[in-house]
Amino acid sequence: MTAPAQPLSAVDLITDPARIGVDDVLALFAAADWTKNRSREEIQQMLRNSQVAVLAKVAGRPVGFARAITDRTFRAFVEDVVVAADLRGAGVGRLVMETVEALVKAQGIARLELTTTQTGFWEKLGYAPKTTTTYMVKSVSP
């Protein structure tokens, strides 16, 4: 984890996916291994189809992003949590996720799920490993 270069000041949160700038998300995604190859068109489509999304900005600079996909009934699945490298550990990820959680809760959804390799961060936010099932995946891409 990189130590924050500056203290976290006033953070602006954008919670309407239609108002989240594609270029802002693209800039954050370019710095993360699992999102760096996503195209502008893919990000536009992702934002159009995301029910819950949060972009954090400090002084106009995008510093954090997260989204959740949901059936709006039983559960939501957290996706694409990204924080600017120089602000990791400064509370941006926590703020973005607390906002995602509040938006999901406001829809009457009681459960959030996710997959991660960074369990320490998630445990600090109150998430716990799900031991009763196994995460399965199948690629259906051509």
Residue 25 φ/ψ region, left for φ over 0, alpha for ψ in the -120 to 50 degree band, beta for the rest = alpha
Q: How far apart are CA 37 and CA 39, in angstroms?
A: 6
Tell me if 68 sits within 8 A of 104, measured CB to CB.
yes
Where do the domains of the chain lie? Answer: 12-124
Question: Residues 71-126: pLDDT tens digits?
Answer: 999 999 999 999 999 999 999 999 999 999 999 999 999 999 998 888 889 899 99
Strand residue runs (E) in the chain:
12-14, 52-58, 61-70, 75-83, 111-113
Question: Residues 30-69: pLDDT tens digits?
Answer: 988 889 999 999 999 999 999 999 999 999 999 999 999 9
Q: What is the pLDDT of residue 4?
A: 43
Q: Out of 3.40.630.30, 3.20.20.210, 3.40.50.150, 3.40.50.300, which CATH number does the structure's domain 12-124 have?
A: 3.40.630.30
